[in-house]
Amino acid sequence: MSPILEGKTALITGAASGIGAAAARVFSRHGARLVLADIDDEGGQSVAEGVAKNGGEAMFVHTDITSDREVAAMVQAVVAAYGRLDCAFNNAAIDGAMAPLHEASAENWEQVLRVNLTGVFLCLKHEIAQMLRQGGGSIVNTASVAGLVGAGTTPASAYVASKHGVVGLTRQAALEYAEQRIRVNAVCPGAVRTPMTQEAIRQGLISLEDIVGLQPVKRLAAPEEIAESAAWLCSGLSSFITGHAMAVDGGWTAQ
């Protein structure tokens, strides 16, 4: 069987670490040529070099996804390098400061929404414009289980609101462009072994034991497991799926 992304050009944001770095490895293994984007130049370049060392093809582009100008330049860089944009994984996000809603700062709220929601909007805007010119494509946004349900007593109002927004934006974009052969879906990870999770544990916001205890499967996901789901949604194997928010959560939202 041929790799599911063979011959495709894929764009991955937030590619310097965590799920984005895992996606670079997974998408490359599935045959994609990659453009990797992040604000972390050192990390992003390192991931691109790692893909190349393993026989893949990847280039890194510094991009702040909250900048309309930089996102436009990112998509232009993809087209300049490879002629088209077949699939995009809009994965860049932050968790922001954790505080009870009545104590949360307006500055933190604005920053989290600017990165997690406005950033996805800007990526969609420019990716879809290119896909309309070329006659189609597939886009996957990283939402979260926090885009499907609340986060319980974890004080994460801005993060939860931003990820619910990503799910809504995904569904609307899918409907607007279905007839133009542009598919838009979201992956909604549960607890994943990433630097973001490790930082929450370090800050004492939650313990590893508590996170594992919340999972029906009693473990955290590896970043590659989320990346594989995104690769499948980007591929032709999911050709009749659009507007879907796929929970990749070890049964979390089934409880």
Cα-to-chain-centroid distance, residue 252:
19
- b/e for 92-113, b at 16 or more Cβ within 10 A? bbbbbbbeeeeebeeebbebbb
Burial class (CB in 10 A: 0-12, 13-18, 19+), 6: exposed
Q: What are the residue ranges of helices labelled H in the chain?
A: 18-29, 41-53, 68-82, 106-113, 119-134, 157-177, 195-202, 208-214, 223-234
Cα–Cα distance between 233 and 89 in angstroms, integer? Answer: 10
82 is known as an active-site residue: no
- Marked catalytic residue, from 27, 82, 109, 159: 159
Write phi, then psi, for 67 (nearest 5 degrees). -105, 115
Contact 253/246 with Cβ under 8 angstroms?
no
Catalytic residue numbers, as ranges: 159
